[in-house]
Structure 1
């Protein structure tokens, strides 16, 4: 049953990632890959919320598998983040590559932390 929930989450997360990435990127005329940045932050916040909820309360196994390895895993995209950062550096936009790398990691960690804190506050 758990693998079905992972698949169901992936069926939601993968198209959501693509559509969100395209929608956000279309609104920004910038070298920075804002679409990838956005989906990665959303996934980090979602995993933070899930972790915080699981720590503070009991999360049903099916929901855990749907949100964690299903939805959030396919919503986030470390490979695209890496590719876009290397592409920026390769095209001479080294400053943008550095900003993308540092901001992506720092903001992702912050989003996960804040998601966990929010869940902890909601479920206490």
Structure 2
């Protein structure tokens, strides 16, 4: 049994929860759709460029670098060039690029390299991936800014 006070509180909170879901529901949906698309792209790249046992995981490495570079370009455009619809960033940034990049597979690849007797390669991969990913974001965003600045000056 519930008390009248509890029923009154539940009645006041229910419309707020529905309004909150209505605001967040589209964001959850576009992140899910974008994530599925990004993951399909990543899977396709891994099929096109399979990694053999003990080999350097080039497909994962390049997937993460490409995704990070695209994120750098994307963020410059949506923050400095044009005002994007409120669902563009969650769809493309969080969804597509979040589904495309795969830092979880990166950690599994490191473990596989070590287990295959290639700890040196695993260590290089461990250090090279985040360094290269950060460099890719920085270089891509700096390049886009430079190109846009030159266009404005011309």
Q: Give TM-score scaled by structure 1 length.
A: 0.85
Equivalent in the alignment of 2:60: 36
Between the two proteins, the alignment pairs up a number of residues equal to: 123
- Contact map agreement 1:52 1:119 (CA 8 A) in 2: yes
Equivalent in the alignment of 1:91: 116
Deviation of 1:46 after TM superposition, in Å, equals: 1.7
Deviation of 1:6 after TM superposition, in Å, equals: 1.2
- Evaluate the alpha carbon distance shift between residue 81 and residue 45 of structure 1 in structure 2; reply closer, same or farther with a 3 A threshold: same
- For the pair shown, the structure with the greater C-alpha radius of gyration is 2
CA displacement 1:8-56 (0-9 Å, x = unmatched):
2112101111111221236x89710011111111111121112222331
Q: Which structure carries more relative contact order (alpha carbon 8 Å, separation 6+)?
A: 1
- Evaluate the alpha carbon distance shift between residue 7 and residue 69 of structure 1 in structure 2; reply closer, same or farther with a 3 A threshold: same
Equivalent in the alignment of 1:53: 77
Equivalent in the alignment of 1:14: 39
CA displacement 1:88-119 (0-9 Å, x = unmatched):
11221011101211221111111111221233
Equivalent in the alignment of 2:48: 23
Are positions 1:64 and 2:89 aligned together? yes
SS in 1 for 2:49: helix
Give structure 1 regions of 4+ aligned residues with deviation exceeding 4 angstroms.
none
SS in 2 for 1:31: coil
| CA distance in 2: counterparts of 1:108 and 1:87, whole angstroms | 21
